[in-house]
Structure 1
Amino acid sequence: MTLSWEQISDSAAAFERWLRFRALMAEVPSISYGVSHRGRQVLAGALGQADLRTGEAAEVSRTGYRVASITKTFTATLIMQLVERGELRLDDLVVSHLPWLAESMDQTGVTVRHLLTHSSGIIRDGSGAWADDDLPDRATLRRDLSQHPTFAAPASGFRYSNIAYALLGEIVENLTGQSFAEAVAKRVLEPLDMGSSGTRVTPRLRSTLATGYWTRRPGESYRAAAATEARAFEPAGGLISTVPDLLRYQEAHFSGDLRLLSDLSKREMQRSQWQRESEPHHGYGWMLWTVEGSSLRGHSGGYAGFNTKIGFDPDLGLAAAVLSNTLGALPGLGVDAFFHTVNRVRSLWTPVGVAAAGPSRADLGRLAGQYRAGWGEWLVVRIHKSLYLVDPTSDLPLREAARLTPAGSRFRFLIADHEDYGYRGEEVTFVMGPKGRPEQMRYGPQTYLRADI
């Protein structure tokens, strides 16, 4: 499937306006976001503050975030590299690589493949891992596993497990002779020039790491989360990264890019290895889910004070990342909203050969923006040769977009395709300011003021 640059550009512009509105209304401390297409940056931006106490602004190319369980895809990548080199088999028993587990797990038959697919039956987090921000060290993890190694037989069901990926990281260390941090750096980060990423809070990464904040109720102040190391959970959730680095990483998992893995290994990682009752399903490391016409690979991440998500569609050559320094649903909604927008833009695109009527794309682009009044806010977005009126409170912004059809001048339109309770068939008029920029949108009986975020 191919996308034109105009389709990508219009999709990115509509998505960015929606995301910035949602971030503002959610009052998140900061959000950083970006989109790339086959190695070319399409969109990169940030809104808000990396640290509320100092007022430091978030910068998309500089500010780092704890991306938590996105780390699992890096760990799975390292495992597949070892498989390609013949140093490991996916059906190896875990105890053959981690003999200290023999006493508690020797008879369970848990394999490396079971760990990768969250089907090992191993407990999820152990004792008190997240309640007190004091993530377990190796000794604590081993004690927990000796007391409560599994809750079910391997391959009997799906159960997400951070401990499973902690064990995979230990296998990586044993086979490479490197610490997990060194293995990730040498085998993934450096080949991709991911210089703003790492799994340990080094002085360099600490200087750019956003402060994470706990959730709050309306009217409450944000409370900073402690800046803790992931310790034994480093392979399950220790990575710190930025939007540009995560876009480069996803691109390396496209077919034809051999910097990390062969195409065969990437296909194995990205096909469903475990079907859950509902999406996402799981490959090796990757979550798999669909949005409109896109079959996505990616992962979400939740850490003390952070929430993040990445997703890519290898058929379209698109990758997206949304990172925030507080907990909440916005990054996940954001990635899905982007791919929804791309697919809706494709479906709404004027077919080749249809005569262009009305204002030019340049004129339409000037009218596109954010408009607000006491009744609420609207986004006006350009899709090819048309404008659309979009409700920014919708999680899938273009699902009920209303097309504006030209009505005799560059700045006057009629509302088409709108729901019955709206102003279908009535006028929308844009009032231009002295610099040729629209300052108002008259929609039905209401006047909305231009208010871009």
Structure 2
Amino acid sequence: MTAVKSAVAYFDSWLAFRQRYSRVPGVQAAVLLDDELLLSTAHGQADIGAGTRLTTRHLFRIASHSKTFTATAVLQLAELGKLRLDDTAGQWLSYLDGTPLAAATIRELLGHGAGVVRDGHDGDFWQLYHAFPDDDTLRKIATDRADVLPANERFKYSNIGYSLLGQIIAAASGMPYNRYVSEQIVARLGLEDTGPEYDPSRADEYATGYSALAYSDRRVPIDHVDTAAMAAATGFYSTAEDVVRYVSAHFFGDTRLLSDASKRLMQRAEWTVKGADGEYGLGLARVEIGDRLVLGHGGGYPGHITKTLFDPHDRLAVSVLTNAIDGPAETLAAGLVRLVNLAVEQGGEGRAGDGRESAGLDRFTGRFATLWGVVDVVRLGHKLFLLRPTSDDPTQGAAPLTVEGDHTLRIAGGIGYGSFGETLEYVFGDHGVESVRGGSATTSYPIERITAAAETLERVSVGTPLR
């Protein structure tokens, strides 16, 4: 627990840095361990034009996270005997009679193995050229050349397939999809800031979504819209805090939504995903980060990119939500897992008297900058590390640091191009660290000092350095 908490504390600082460094309008995140919410944080803005600061209560469209809710609902109905995973879509949706998709099984749809077209043959609703498909339009899509590949040939992601599962859930449960998941999943868990579709009555609570910087230096705000018949694939909204509480119901031993038997079925690998690291189960993606197998899902909605990962055995969950169509949510969520791995494997959980030892180490920690960039000295568990916050993987090239004296650390690891074996020499003042010399024997300063200098200095010259 000590190591994990130290990793989470640094994660919040890293998120703040990455939000600015990546030029993302806003980042909202949460981390949960067992039943304890270790972090709920927000950095940046919910609305750039209005200057609205992002908070932990702003709502995000979590898009394909919806598939995890849909898969959970299917497994619930299977446990109740209201449907079977080997039922065909045609058994529940009569309009599919005589079409290729009639033979697709519920399990094939859940695992993206049915060969179904991804978004139909006109997916421009994703660009808001027109509205998302309603039920009638979904029927037309499902009966118009929707069988792109033979079933069970390979993993083939399909929003249309999951939209059909929403209709199947409605038929099997006897109530509309949105009502079923609201009552049997959201309400059961007491998730007050989660729902299956855009709620116009809460319009002021949503973080504004923005376009990408890939094609313009200016981000354009994007309207929130109803996803209609595709809610089961991409309609949900939530907060990071609610999302980690939701996925905690998928930890083993938690029976609020599903039995452990159903969770094992949902979480086992159905497919290896070609061209990407990882696998896919029934509504959940699987990936190994270091030696840790985590599950979860991402979400891409016009203006919002989101990612959630969880370890059902160690009962750890992280969710990162961003309000830009190019937001690095996946990179940031994976960063937490990597930091926890490093903290647990190398930082350790601490010893008796750890509080005093940690306080002694904490005096060395901070974010320091030179003309060349930024480094962090971080305590993870009861060890210090030199990390580079600009890296997508904050643990890449992590260098352990050993205490050599009251003012000196030694670099005891890291990459070969670094300063292995050399020292970091600290100058302390009344308010903490004033400067650090080390790493090519250059002098770094607390980042606030370099930031202030960069905002006022017209040119860096010999005798007029950035400091």
Cα distance in 2 for residues equivalent to 1:407 and 1:365: 15
The alignment partner of 1:340 has SS state of helix
Cα distance in 2 for residues equivalent to 1:181 and 1:351: 44
Which residue of the partner structure matches residue 328 of structure 1? 326
Which residue of the partner structure matches residue 106 of structure 2? 112
Q: CA RMSD of the aligned region, Å?
A: 2.2
**How do residues 128-139 of structure 1 correspond to structure 2 at under 5 angstroms?**
128=123, 129-131=125-127, 132=129, 134-139=131-136
Which residue of the partner structure matches residue 338 of structure 2? 340
CA contact (8 A) 1:104 1:149 kept: no
- Identify the match of residue 45 of structure 1 among 19, 41, 48: 41
393 and 142 in structure 1: CA distance in 2 versus 1, 3 angstrom threshold: same
CA contact (8 A) 1:216 1:222 kept: yes
User: CA offsets per residue over residues 279-331 of structure 1, 9 Å max, x none?
Assistant: 32111100011101111110011010110000101121100000000122511
220 and 353 in structure 1: CA distance in 2 versus 1, 3 angstrom threshold: closer
Which residue of the partner structure matches residue 35 of structure 1? 31
- Identify the match of residue 64 of structure 1 among 41, 59, 67: 59
Which residue of the partner structure matches residue 84 of structure 1? 79
User: CA offsets per residue over residues 226-265 of structure 1, 9 Å max, x none?
Assistant: 2211111110000000011001111100111111111111
CA contact (8 A) 2:167 2:177 kept: yes
Cα distance in 2 for residues equivalent to 1:38 and 1:355: 25
- Identify the match of residue 398 of structure 1 among 380, 395, 416: 395
Matched, 1:275 2:272: yes
User: CA offsets per residue over residues 49-70 of structure 1, 9 Å max, x none?
Assistant: 011111111112x011110001
User: CA offsets per residue over residues 115-135 of structure 1, 9 Å max, x none?
Assistant: 101111111101133232632
The alignment partner of 2:27 has SS state of strand
Offset at residue 350 of structure 1 (A) = 5.0
Which residue of the partner structure matches residue 291 of structure 2? 293
CA contact (8 A) 1:121 1:159 kept: yes
Which residue of the partner structure matches residue 231 of structure 2? 234
Cα distance in 1 for residues equivalent to 2:99 and 2:59: 39
Letter in 2 for 1:283: G
352 and 240 in structure 1: CA distance in 2 versus 1, 3 angstrom threshold: closer
CA contact (8 A) 1:133 1:226 kept: no
115 and 451 in structure 1: CA distance in 2 versus 1, 3 angstrom threshold: same
Cα distance in 2 for residues equivalent to 1:318 and 1:207: 31
Which residue of the partner structure matches residue 244 of structure 1? 241
Which residue of the partner structure matches residue 377 of structure 1? 374
CA contact (8 A) 1:7 1:383 kept: yes
Cα distance in 2 for residues equivalent to 1:360 and 1:295: 32
Instruction: Tell me the TM-score normalised to structure 2 length.
Output: 0.90
- Identify the match of residue 160 of structure 1 among 157, 160, 163: 157
Cα distance in 1 for residues equivalent to 2:25 and 2:289: 27
The alignment partner of 1:396 has SS state of coil
- Ranges in structure 1 where 5+ consecutive residues have no aligned partner: none
Cα distance in 1 for residues equivalent to 2:77 and 2:247: 20
Which residue of the partner structure matches residue 102 of structure 1? 97
CA contact (8 A) 2:108 2:114 kept: yes
402 and 125 in structure 1: CA distance in 2 versus 1, 3 angstrom threshold: same
- Ranges in structure 2 where 5+ consecutive residues have no aligned partner: 452-467
User: Following superposition, which runs of at least 4 residues in structure 1 exceed 4 angstroms of deviation?
Assistant: 350-356
- Identify the match of residue 438 of structure 1 among 433, 437, 451: 433
Offset at residue 353 of structure 1 (A) = 7.6
Cα distance in 1 for residues equivalent to 2:152 and 2:213: 39
Cα distance in 1 for residues equivalent to 2:40 and 2:179: 29
How many residue pairs were aligned? 444
420 and 157 in structure 1: CA distance in 2 versus 1, 3 angstrom threshold: closer
The alignment partner of 2:294 has SS state of strand
Cα distance in 1 for residues equivalent to 2:309 and 2:336: 10
CA contact (8 A) 2:344 2:381 kept: no
Instruction: Tell me the TM-score normalised to structure 1 length.
Output: 0.93
The alignment partner of 2:386 has SS state of strand
Letter in 2 for 1:32: Q
Percent sequence identity is 34
User: CA offsets per residue over residues 320-360 of structure 1, 9 Å max, x none?
Assistant: 0000001225111112111111112222135878999xx82
CA contact (8 A) 1:95 1:105 kept: no
CA contact (8 A) 2:304 2:327 kept: no
CA contact (8 A) 2:367 2:447 kept: yes
Which residue of the partner structure matches residue 11 of structure 1? 7
Cα distance in 2 for residues equivalent to 1:231 and 1:439: 57
Cα distance in 2 for residues equivalent to 1:152 and 1:239: 28
Which residue of the partner structure matches residue 207 of structure 2? 210
CA contact (8 A) 2:3 2:350 kept: no
Offset at residue 370 of structure 1 (A) = 1.3
Which residue of the partner structure matches residue 312 of structure 2? 314
Offset at residue 430 of structure 1 (A) = 2.7
Cα distance in 2 for residues equivalent to 1:434 and 1:218: 48
Cα distance in 2 for residues equivalent to 1:303 and 1:295: 26
176 and 397 in structure 1: CA distance in 2 versus 1, 3 angstrom threshold: same
Offset at residue 158 of structure 1 (A) = 1.5
User: CA offsets per residue over residues 1-34 of structure 1, 9 Å max, x none?
Assistant: xxxx211112112322333222211110000111
Cα distance in 1 for residues equivalent to 2:216 and 2:169: 46
Offset at residue 146 of structure 1 (A) = 2.2
CA contact (8 A) 2:362 2:379 kept: yes
Cα distance in 1 for residues equivalent to 2:141 and 2:255: 39
CA contact (8 A) 1:18 1:379 kept: no
Letter in 1 for 2:5: S
Cα distance in 1 for residues equivalent to 2:422 and 2:353: 24
Cα distance in 1 for residues equivalent to 2:84 and 2:29: 37
Matched, 1:422 2:421: no
216 and 99 in structure 1: CA distance in 2 versus 1, 3 angstrom threshold: same
